[in-house]
Amino acid sequence: MNAGTRKLPSVNIVNGIILVETAIQNAGRALSGSLTTTQTLRQYVRLTKPRITLLIIISTAVGYCYGVDSKFNFITFLHALVGATLLAGGAATLNQWWEREWDAQMNRTKMRPIPAGMVRARDALLFGVLLTVAGVAELWLFCNILAAALGLLTSAGYVLAYTPLKRKHPVCTTVGALPGAMPPLIGFAAASSHLGVNAWALFSILFLWQFPHFHAIAWMYREDYQRAGVKMLAVARPFGVGLTMEILSALLLLIPITLAPTLLHMAGQVYFLAALILDGIFLYFGWQLARERSRKRARALLLASVLYLPVLFAFLVFDNSRFLS
């Protein structure tokens, strides 16, 4: 063992002490009311998980575009995005409220606003409920009841089914992928007051995409997840065949599902070629993780998944003459 290796434990201990001290200081400041208004607002924004919310907004927007039958109503479109944003923020906040004790046990999440003491648990609960109610009301009043019902179902599925199931059984990923794939349905319903085959095609793409994406995250942070009692497949059986099957089967199924929009006249040949290339690249990174279970391969698959979806959706929308005319 070299000298550099001997220093690692002490470095980790020091980093751990700094994290604990920071959390204690933050808690004291929050409880004493010494946080500035800007700092407080920043913590509440963090509760909504803005990066995930952005993906939900994009998915809702794509769904709305394909739900438009004739004239594009920009005002209704904005209301649909606002409603989806509120619901996404509410679900993320309630998820963190529910998992606050688990988050405190994981290095990846211990500095989130609630476990770090920046936001009181009861305040986060109230904030999450208010956002959810506001989101449902926004969709109901300014779009239609179907969009509102789908939004409520999405939040309930994510918070009440997926969140508690994470500590019980690896099937949680499949259960969580259902509400995770709902934003295009919300957008489509907001535009048309019904759900057509195009909406379900978008739902299927988003549903399958989540398996390689979230399995990659879980594999990278499996030790953290295990410490918190999370039962995801990448944690329970990180080197098992089941994980390989779920990742590769989802990636293989994505190929016909992502090519289907061309057959459904949702997009043209440019999209078809782009989807085929993107599917091949995505499958390559999934296969690399299946061959070699390492943090490097998991991170590569995660980055591929983050780039894959917005690029695919961009080609899907912009290779449609209806949206460019």
- pLDDT tens digits for 166-188? 889 999 999 999 999 999 999 99
Question: Are 144 and 228 part of one and the same domain?
Answer: no
Helix/strand number for the chain, H first, E second = 17, 0
Residues 26-82 have pLDDT tens digits of: 444 444 455 678 888 999 999 999 999 999 999 999 999 999 987 889 999 999 999
Residue 35 lies in a domain: no
Distance CA 267, CA 317 (A): 7
Residue 268 lies in a domain: yes
**Tally of structural domains, the chain:** 2
What CATH number did the domain enclosing 56 receive? 1.10.357.140
Position with higher pLDDT, 1 vs 111: 111
Query: Which range marks the domain in which residue 50 is found?
Result: 44-194
Distance CA 317, CA 271 (A): 9
CA dihedral sign, ordered 270, 251, 66, 61:
negative
Q: How high does pLDDT run on average in the chain?
A: 88
Residue 24 lies in a domain: no
Residue 313 lies in a domain: yes
Question: Are 221 and 179 part of one and the same domain?
Answer: no
Question: Are 135 and 277 part of one and the same domain?
Answer: no
Question: Are 210 and 295 part of one and the same domain?
Answer: yes
Question: Are 72 and 168 part of one and the same domain?
Answer: yes
Question: Are 189 and 200 part of one and the same domain?
Answer: no
Question: Are 304 and 170 part of one and the same domain?
Answer: no
Does residue 50 contact residue 88 with C-beta atoms inside 8 Å?
A: no
Q: At what angle do helices 183-192 and 197-220 cross, to 10 degrees?
A: 160
Question: Are 74 and 209 part of one and the same domain?
Answer: no
CA nearest to 173, candidates 199, 149, 209, 201: 209
The neighbour count for residue 51, using CB atoms within 10 Å, is 8
Q: Please tell me whether residue 84 adopts helix, strand or coil conformation.
A: helix
Q: Please tell me whether residue 194 adopts helix, strand or coil conformation.
A: coil
Pick the last residue of a domain from 194, 227, 259: 194
Question: Are 306 and 203 part of one and the same domain?
Answer: yes
Distance CA 61, CA 84 (A): 9
